[in-house]
Structure 1
Amino acid sequence: MTTPLLSLTWTDSITGHQGFLVIDRLVRGVCSGGLRMREGCTLDEVTGLARGMSMKEALHYDPEGRYVPLGGAKGGIDCDPRDPAAYGLLVRYLRAVRPYLESVWATGEDLGLSQDLVDRAAAEAGLVSCVQSVYPLLDDEEAARRRLADAFAVRVDGIGLDALVGGCGVAEAALTALDRVGVPYAGTRVAVQGFGTMGGATARFLARAGLTVVAVADLKGTIANPAGLDVEALLAARDSYGLVDRAALRPGDRELPGEEWLSVAAEVLVPAAVSYAVDTVNQERITARWIVEAANMPVLPEAEAVLAARGVTVLPDVVVNSGTNAWWWWTLFGDIGPDAREAFAHTRRAMRALTGQMLSRAEADGSSPRVAAHAIAADRHPVIEERYGQYR
């Protein structure tokens, strides 16, 4: 593993909470990666996430596209986002790292933070935009900024397009894996951990494809129904933190303890919340055939090795949840317009192609999908550096 280009720890003088920024690699002097806020966030966690972002950017490299892949980075703040002091802490963190945001780091929402909140805090911290470091790479900055703003204003069935494209990508990765082995969608059961932006959208797209969502876990516990949950009703009953109002449950829906999402009878398991959710102990409870990593780093490496020996395939985060980041840049650089139909079609094509390539590489090499994805990214980094200059 390479050493990150930059790694810093910031301590808030008012609350004592810590924030982190890791820049793993630059391409044309710029890097990309979201900002998360969660209690217990660590520098090691942010370092791993930044490395993953470098891979995600490389994996979506298209020499014919207008989108220029960036380097990888990540930000993190160790604080419960529901803490009353969280917003002020966020603003102070953004002020502290403002020089990086103005020149090299483009960021956006991640675990614990919504894009609206990041945008509001960025403005209060004196920033033009949380992606302003990318503006010098654009052919027409004004048109690009307007295109991205228009895309964020698009709503589909009452939900913002930006909150849906990532889940669309996760669903397509899962569906591609099912298609390769001829598993029909009807009768295939899904359990989802986390019902926020990514988990909720993934559940919606999988349900609409014909799969049966049998369990959804939030911070209150697990909601399960072996006959299938009403995903749309649950989406309508969740709050901004992904918590579902239990008053919306139907007679056949059951409330179970939080970790029961692991052992619910399902073929597809979608961890879409925190990192390190699956370890060497609780992996024993999993009966699913596929784990689809909608969250970043939800399966510990040691657990993945044991799961592989048991015949459980893990589709890795660097591919599965990369659709949101790619959609930002496809839109800003002008590969797609601010249109939901175009965004979903482009996301589906890209995610199916990338997932298929990863699975074919894994099969040919006799490796895991994660090793195959990392190998594809490693092949592309020198190509990107040759075209755009060598920046770590």
Structure 2
Amino acid sequence: MPHTPLLTLTWTDHVTGHRGHLVVDRLVRGVSSGGLRMRAGCTLDEVAGLARGMSMKEALHYRPGARYIPLGGAKGGIDCDPRSPEANGVLVRYLQAMRPYVESFWTTGEDLGLTQDVVDKAMTEAGLVSSIQAVYPLLDDETAARQRLADAFALRVDGIGLDELVGGCGVAESALAALDRAGIPYTGTRVAVQGLGTMGGATARFLDRAGLKVVAVADIRGTVTNPDGLDVEALLAARDAYGAVDRAALRPADRQLPGDAWLSVDADLLVPAAVSYAIDAHNQTRITARWIVEAANMPVLPEAERLLAERGTTVLPDVVVNSGTNAWWWWTLFGDIDADADEAFAYTRRALRDLVDETLERAAADGVTPRSAAHALAEERLAEIARRYGHHR
């Protein structure tokens, strides 16, 4: 029987005609969690798939005895270029229209095309208290919890907000866990990253610092490569607000190639960290990497994943590897961790490594892909959550 979300709606902006969507896949204890993205071409089907993925990401982090009890999954999406002069007005009007849902049962935050600062500012303009106010009634001590999260968001590591780093820490640790299981040393392992925004940039930084060699990065302006390794810190420092790198920061040996060249770069790990549906049945033929680590949501289409598996390329699925940011919010808010960067990184690394190990062990035992294994684990935990807290579709 096809899965049916609890709520699906589409909104049309009366000023510009841009459309936005909200899909609530399910509620747990009356609340759902899932970010808000803005990109030209965003569709209802895309948002529905992302919402379903959020239900699984939440469930995969279910640990009996922890303060954080996973929420349901949801997602918002707006079909508008975030660089457009119209974008902020569209965003504010979308949030005004979604106010009853944000106040009641949809907690949200940054996603593709939107930073948390932009979301927070638009929330205020729309007359909302917070992007996560729907979860406040579930907190034991709302005042302390909100202060703890605010303190965590105020933390900076090497000049970068902790909230911008923790997701990439989880993606990087997922990749490192896969390398460890395969007995592959970090030093000399080559990485190509598509997208150098919040998630891709942080992932590149953590992998670079672990000793891997980042040999290619792609942004909206094209792909930059260097087989001897790029200067990741210099590239990150030269990014604009949308993750595009100022080419003046490149070194003489760095080469500029077309935007899709990251697919065929000689690398061991590919990290798609930008748009959904980046790897399809056609362009997957160019990939020679052993692993694809899904820092973005839904970057590998199903037929492409099947063909890649036949050729020996393993996809580490988004529902596992990019779940760290969402989980960190809730670990902090509910009090499983304090507003401390070292504790946040350690907790994230341990949680993601455990999930990757569980997923790969299940995949090997069942003879299935890691995605199928992760989905099976998620379904088992969703069933347990439903038994304990009620079933809300």
Q: TM-score when scaled to structure 1?
A: 1.00
CA apart distance, 1:64: 1.7
Q: Report the equivalent of 1:44.
A: 45
Q: Report the equivalent of 1:272.
A: 273
Deviations 1:6-45 (A, max 9, x none): 0000000000000000000100010000000000000000
Count of residue correspondences:
392
Deviations 1:283-308 (A, max 9, x none): 01101000000000000001000000
One-letter code aligned to 1:76:
G
Unaligned runs of at least 5 residues, structure 2: none
Q: Report the equivalent of 2:355.
A: 354
Secondary structure of the residue that 2:368 maps to in structure 1? coil
Quick check: 1:124 aligned with 2:122?
no
Secondary structure of the residue that 2:62 maps to in structure 1? coil
Deviations 1:225-258 (A, max 9, x none): 0000010111111011001011111111111110
Secondary structure of the residue that 2:275 maps to in structure 1? coil
Q: Report the equivalent of 1:15.
A: 16
CA apart distance, 1:73: 0.2
CA apart distance, 1:382: 1.5
Q: TM-score when scaled to structure 2?
A: 0.99
Unaligned runs of at least 5 residues, structure 1: none
Q: Report the equivalent of 1:67.
A: 68
One-letter code aligned to 1:135:
Y
One-letter code aligned to 1:378:
E
CA apart distance, 1:128: 0.5
Separation in structure 2 between the aligned mates of residue 287 and residue 23 of structure 1, nearest angstrom = 37
Q: Report the equivalent of 1:56.
A: 57
Separation in structure 2 between the aligned mates of residue 155 and residue 247 of structure 1, nearest angstrom = 26
RMSD between aligned alpha carbons? 0.5
Separation in structure 1 between the aligned mates of residue 128 and residue 204 of structure 2, nearest angstrom = 35
Secondary structure of the residue that 2:177 maps to in structure 1? helix
Q: Report the equivalent of 1:193.
A: 194
Q: Report the equivalent of 2:385.
A: 384
Quick check: 1:369 aligned with 2:375?
no
Deviations 1:301-333 (A, max 9, x none): 010000000100000000010000000000000
One-letter code aligned to 1:147:
R
Deviations 1:108-131 (A, max 9, x none): 000000000000000111110000
Q: Report the equivalent of 1:306.
A: 307
Q: Report the equivalent of 2:338.
A: 337
Separation in structure 1 between the aligned mates of residue 147 and residue 385 of structure 2, nearest angstrom = 28
Separation in structure 2 between the aligned mates of residue 315 and residue 179 of structure 1, nearest angstrom = 14
Q: Report the equivalent of 2:219.
A: 218
Deviations 1:186-205 (A, max 9, x none): 11000000000000000000
CA apart distance, 1:390: 2.0
Separation in structure 1 between the aligned mates of residue 61 and residue 24 of structure 2, nearest angstrom = 19
Secondary structure of the residue that 1:76 maps to in structure 2? strand
CA apart distance, 1:107: 0.1
